[in-house]
Amino acid sequence: MASISPIKGFPEWLPPQRMVEQQLLDRIRRRYELFGYVPVETRAVEPIEYLASKGGDADKEIYVLRRLHAEAEDRDGSGLGLHFDLTVPFARYVVQNRGRLSFPFRRYQIQKVWRGERPQDGRFREFYQCDADVIAPEKLSLQYDVEIAQLLFEVVSDLPVPTPTIQVNNRKILEGFYRALGLEDITPTLRIVDKLDKIGPVAVRQLLQDQLGMSDEASGKVLLLSEISGSGLGVLDQVRALGVQHPLLEEGLAELEFVLRGASDIPDGRLRANLKIARGLDYYTGIVFEGQLDGHEDLGSVCSGGRYENLAASLGSPVKLPGIGVSVGLSRILARMFGKELLAPSRQTPTCVLVALASEEARPVALATAQRLRRRGIPTEVYDRAKKWGEQIKYASNLGIPYVWFPAGEGRPDHELRDLRSGAQGPADPESWTPPADDLHVGILRKGG
Amino acid sequence: MASISPIKGFPEWLPPQRMVEQQLLDRIRRRYELFGYVPVETRAVEPIEYLASKGGDADKEIYVLRRLHAEAEDRDGSGLGLHFDLTVPFARYVVQNRGRLSFPFRRYQIQKVWRGERPQDGRFREFYQCDADVIAPEKLSLQYDVEIAQLLFEVVSDLPVPTPTIQVNNRKILEGFYRALGLEDITPTLRIVDKLDKIGPVAVRQLLQDQLGMSDEASGKVLLLSEISGSGLGVLDQVRALGVQHPLLEEGLAELEFVLRGASDIPDGRLRANLKIARGLDYYTGIVFEGQLDGHEDLGSVCSGGRYENLAASLGSPVKLPGIGVSVGLSRILARMFGKELLAPSRQTPTCVLVALASEEARPVALATAQRLRRRGIPTEVYDRAKKWGEQIKYASNLGIPYVWFPAGEGRPDHELRDLRSGAQGPADPESWTPPADDLHVGILRKGG
């Protein structure tokens, strides 16, 4: 038996961190529901044929299943892989249930996904994605691109983490621009430009010339385009000033303008056009987003998404089902926040009241008292052994439990309650005592950053 | 590309069902937290060596991972399997983090698990388990067996489903009894007796004699024991009346009595001793539980659990870490409730208010109105096109959205609100109007059964 140790890329939180994670998941969910998005959950597995060829290095990151002792002819579980995102499964779900959904279908979905990539800072093999998407048959209004931008900003800025900036671009701009430069297959160019932040402009230009045979002038223009960014509509003019013309480029610029204007209530330049954003997955066809947190730009994007016109068709749908959506990478955010100790729960347990145990004989009264408090919605536990008061109080104190309850009996005529923070102790009635709202449930303490 | 269809054993719910599922998950979580249980989530994968040999047919049900295009020498992902329950991962988590947890450690854990078994009614390959366990070093008080019994009854009876009955037994009774009859390896006997409900007493007795060489008298006693059940302490006398004696049997009976007495506030005979309960997993060593729902006994157990003294040791822990826990099989419960149409959400979307759109020009006001309502916690969406009022109202009505909001403007001096159920329409202020609590969020409608 190997010694027990963590598995790289598969993060697990200690209970206080898990309490924070759960509260953030709840906040994200509430915010999606405030916008009227419907919850969906899909199975963890998809046929491999749906997962494969969705872009970049994704294929070799797919985990496939087989049964431990399956015989050769037993195909159970074979042909299935773990989903690597929630967009492909959602598109498949919509195609499969098309007749039973009401459109435009706005759904949110919060689940773990798996990618067999090399684990490194902020990159995991198992992590939470918190997605919201809209899909409709045939045509999906650009209004949803605006709504998704607003929703994404609201969801992330509602979290107790640094403020996000959402970067927006349009694949059509890149594709039109590259086509105008004479490139037919634009995917390799997108992939190379996508490496800008990692390897820098000089290396990117070299790759464009060496690998794609691009001219000095064309590769120069590609780089100039990628350097354009800003929160105002002026970016559109900067793109046009490069003197490259193509109908798809114009269409992309018009859509980008529509989103920048429509989502203008996102404050303080927090929505920025950034012409180098491409996103790695192949299914995006229009607007694309990604977001960073202030002061944590080195972490890379913590949320991303975009418009996909043809994903359903690629899964075999006879009907066109365009969609747009975003995903918040909560695990990446939390790993950073925990790593820098920026978030903690207000206590180490849901318990609000510890009922002290005077003696074994007093146990029935202690248990009944706990039940009375629980029936009134107050999280309560009973100390498990009749030990000295000091030890029981110390136990509560170590976990941050705010109150210790001393049941009536054994010379104590009334129930008494001690607030461990003030040390104040006095009579209390289990049928009427109510803690302040802030004490009832675990809160989140935000530190520094 | 194969046509898109469900995968057997991997259930997916439509949005209304998913809304019900999510509310039930929330209720279970709240109830666990009311008892002071701390949330934990573990990775979906474990080293195969931790998963294997945990009992019965479990091994061949384990799904193992490999990467899609992994080369032979690339071992990434190999040696890992998907967890088939949450008890083994939790025991591993406690051993791994022992120095950073506070004991007795009471945790709840709600996650999907995977078992490659033959899919059939109520049996899935992917399903939710909702677990609560307590683990402590060296010795864990029997009080926790009592607490877990109470907690299990409360959690399941808090759900909007038929009332559960919890069956309790003790492995020590079975083991002591079998040993007194001269059997050394009791596992095969447990496995055969576990088939009682499936194959009946005659076949079980035959198997005991044929496969284990048990005498006519011994196999008769095994069957007599398995027929004893009841909610009172009289069952203990019935067992003793069989005239079989063994120290382990006595220990088991004393523990069973402790639990039956301690959990006597479980009402109406809803906690019953049942001497044939064994549970399939090998790690149980003492008290075992399982529960059925009234009128759905044919579904089998919908919750189960028990005491495990040596699970941590089997994972390589140098310290003994006894535990007790239970698991609620929510997916099995829901599949039955949905199959018989016994549960439905009060509406088909979280949206409480649909803001109607009079014209494209009116969109900014409509969007701003929606934001004002959302800021006050009211789930709101905006209709996406300026269509006839009738069509917009019909959309809301089809989804069960209770209110349609007509923003001020275009000849309407005030904001107006229509209650779609009464048809009443009148002025409303987006800064002060509040829906009744029952309308704010989706509720659950319980039908029949």
A358 near B CB under 8 A: no
Cβ distance B381 to A40 less than 8 Å, yes or no, reads: no
pLDDT at position A52 is: 86
Q: How many CA atoms lie within 13 A of A33 on its CB side?
A: 21
Alpha-carbon span A35 to A31, nearest angstrom: 7
Nearest to B381 among A36, A363, A398 (CB): A36
Residue B33 has its nearest CB partner, among A61, A265, A350, at A350
**Nearest CB to B39 within list A10, A22, A43:** A22
pLDDT reported for residue B302: 96
Q: What is the largest CA-CA distance in chain A?
A: 93
Q: Helix, strand, or coil here: A232?
A: coil
For chain A, give every domain's residue range. Answer: 15-343, 353-446
Amino acid at A241: A
Decide if A41 and B52 are in contact by the 8 Å CB cutoff.
no
Which chain B residues contact residue A265 at CB under 8 A?
A: 368, 371
Peptide bond preceding A188: is omega within 30 degrees of 0, i.e. cis?
A: no
pLDDT of residue A410: 75
Minimal Cβ distance to A315: which of B4, B126, B395: B4
8-state DSSP, A199: H
Distance from CA of A66 to the nearest CA of B (A): 5
pTM: 0.95
B313 interface with A at CB cutoff 8 Å: no
Distance from CA of A296 to the nearest CA of B (A): 26
Q: What is the largest CA-CA distance in chain B?
A: 93
Any chain B CB within 8 A of the CB of A5? yes
Q: Which residues 7-26 of A have a C-beta within 8 angstroms of B?
A: 7, 10-15, 18-19, 21-22
CA A306 to chain centroid, in Å, comes to 15
Nearest CA in chain A to B314: A1
Asked if A41 has any chain B CB less than 8 Å from its own CB, the reply is yes
Which tokens is B88 given?
Answer: 């083994």
Whether A106 sits inside 8 A of B265 (CB atoms) is no
**CB contact B57 to A (< 8 Å):** no
Measured between CB atoms, does B421 come within 8 Å of chain A? no
Whether B65 and A82 lie within 8 Å, measured CB to CB: yes
Task: Quote the pLDDT of residue A415.
Answer: 96
CB A55 within 8 A of CB A281: yes
Q: Which of A4, A112, A266, A398 to mutate to test the interface with B (most CBs of B within 10 A)?
A: A4
B38 interfaces chain A, CB cutoff of 8 Å: yes
Question: How far off is chain A from B352, nearest CA to CA, in Å?
Answer: 8
Mean pLDDT of A142-161: 97
Across the interface, which of A3, A43, A351 has its CB nearest the CB of B12?
Answer: A43
Query: Across the interface, do B35 and A112 touch by the CB < 8 Å criterion?
Result: no
> Does B361 lie at the interface with A, CB-CB under 8 angstroms?
no
Mean residue pLDDT across chain A = 93
The superfamily CATH assigns to domain B15-343 is Bira Bifunctional Protein; Domain 2 (3.30.930.10)
Selection from B211, B232, B332, B320 nearest residue B274 by Cα: B232
Interface of A with B in 69-128 (CB under 8 A): 69-70, 76-77, 80-82, 92-93, 95-97, 100-102, 104, 106-107, 112, 114, 116, 126
Q: Regarding predicted confidence, which is higher, A122 or A326? A: A326
pLDDT value at A55 more than 80: no
Q: What are the chain B neighbours of A368 within 8 Å (beta carbons)? A: 265
Which residues of A are less than 8 Å from B350 in CB distance? 33-34, 36-39
What is the rounded average pLDDT of the residues A312-339?
Answer: 94
pLDDT of A433 over the 70 cut? yes
CB-based contact, B399 to chain A, within 8 Å: yes
- Residue A203 token pair: 């290396």
- pLDDT tens across A226-282, in order? 999 999 999 999 999 999 999 999 999 999 999 999 999 999 899 999 999 988 767
Residue B354 distance to chain A (closest CA, Å): 9
Q: What is the Cα–Cα distance from B327 to B149, expressed in whole angstroms?
A: 11
State the pLDDT at residue B74.
Answer: 47
Q: What angle do CA B263, B268, B274 make, to 5 degrees?
A: 65
What phi and psi, each to the nearest 5 degrees, are found at residue A38? -95, 140
B136: closest chain A residue by CA: A384
pLDDT digits (tens, 9 = 90+) for A266-321: 998 999 999 999 887 678 999 999 999 999 999 999 999 999 999 898 888 999 99
Give B-chain residues touching A22 at CB under 8 angstroms: 39
Q: Which CATH architecture has domain B353-446?
A: 3-Layer(aba) Sandwich (3.40)
Q: Does this complex have an ipTM over 0.85?
A: yes
Q: Of A7, A68, A381, which is closest to B62 when you measure between CB atoms?
A: A68
The set of long-range contacts for A190-198, using a CB threshold of 8 Å and a minimum separation of 24, is A190/A278, A191/A56, A191/A280, A193/A222, A193/A226, A193/A276, A193/A278, A194/A278, A194/A279, A194/A280, A196/A226, A196/A276, A197/A300
- What CA–CA distances, in Å, run from A419 to A355, A428, A434, B245, B250? 12, 11, 12, 52, 45
Q: Above 50 in pLDDT, residue A74? A: no
CB contact under 8 A, A379 and B47: no
Per DSSP, the three-state class of A193 is helix
Chain B residues touching A316 at Cβ < 8 A:
1-4
Position A70 pLDDT exceeds 70: no
- Using a CB-CB distance cutoff of 8 angstroms, which residues of chain B are in contact with residue A141? 384-385
SS3 label, residue A167: strand
Query: Residue A84 corresponds to which amino acid?
Result: F
Contacts of B60 in chain A (CB under 8 A): 67-70
Residue A120: count of CB within 10 angstroms of its CB: 9
User: What pLDDT digit, counting tens, does each position of A152-203 carry?
Assistant: 999 999 999 999 999 999 999 999 999 999 988 888 898 898 888 889 999 9
Q: What is the pLDDT of residue B357?
A: 96
Along chain B (449 residues), what's the average pLDDT of each consecutive run of 10 residues? Answer: 82 97 97 98 95 72 84 59 95 95 96 89 91 97 96 97 97 95 87 88 94 93 95 96 97 98 93 90 90 95 95 90 97 96 96 96 94 97 95 96 94 94 96 96 87
d(CA B214, CA B210): 7
For residue B62, the chain A residues in CB contact (below 8 A) are 67-69
Residue whose structure tokens are 């002061």: A295
A380/chain B closest Cα distance in angstroms: 6
